Each structure stands twice: as C-alpha cells, then as structure tokens.
C-alpha cells in the first residue's frame, strides 16, 4: 500500500475513507486509484468488473480488451486521470 492514509472517494464522496488494501495496477493509474477510491467502492468495482468482462466477452490479457476494461473502471469509479 502507498503512503496515502485516507482519501475522499471520487465515486461515493466518502471523506477520510481508507484506500484499497491491494490493487493490481502500478504507475499513474494505480496512484490515482489509491488517491481517489475507497475500499468499499473498489470492492464494488471488482464485482462489476466480472460483469463487464462477461457481458463484453473480454479477454483481459489482450491489450485492446484491457483498455476497454480500464476505461469502464475509470468511468465506474469516477477517476480523474
């Protein structure tokens, strides 16, 4: 986990919320998630991501499919990046 102690969640607006315990992203996207998303909304995204993958028949190891999934994630979480 990063040095971020608490966040104001971009999705639910919770103030002083705990950031996610673990995220599978590094770099700017990972930093944005840790700085702008609370643990509860991250858990909601994980459930939603399964639906996005299934409904769109995505194969996440394909770069073009991963881009689609990441775009959906940014929209769902309200990330500013």
Q: What are phi and psi of 7, to 5 degrees?
A: -130, 160
The per-residue pLDDT for range 35-49, each reduced to its tens digit, is 999 999 999 999 999
**50: domain CATH number?**
1.10.3880.10
The count of structural domains within the chain is: 1
For 23, the token pair is: 């995220």
The band of 56, judged by pLDDT with boundaries at 50, 70 and 90, is: very high
> What is the pLDDT, as a whole number, of residue 81?
85
Q: What range defines the domain where residue 66 resides? A: 1-81
Strand partners, 17: 7
Q: Is the dihedral of CA 54, 73, 28, 22 positive or negative?
A: negative
Percent of the chain having pLDDT more than 90?
A: 90
User: Mean pLDDT of all residues in the chain?
Assistant: 93
């Amino acid at each position: 986990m990063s040095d971020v102690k608490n966040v104001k969640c971009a999705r639910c607006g919770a103030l002083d919320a705990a950031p996610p315990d673990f995220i599978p992203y590094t770099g700017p996207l990972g930093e944005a998630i840790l700085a702008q998303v609370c643990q509860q909304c991250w858990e909601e995204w994980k459930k939603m991501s399964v639906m996005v993958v299934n409904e769109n028949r995505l194969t996440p190891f394909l770069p073009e499919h991963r881009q689609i999934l990441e775009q959906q994630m940014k929209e769902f979480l309200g990330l500013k990046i």
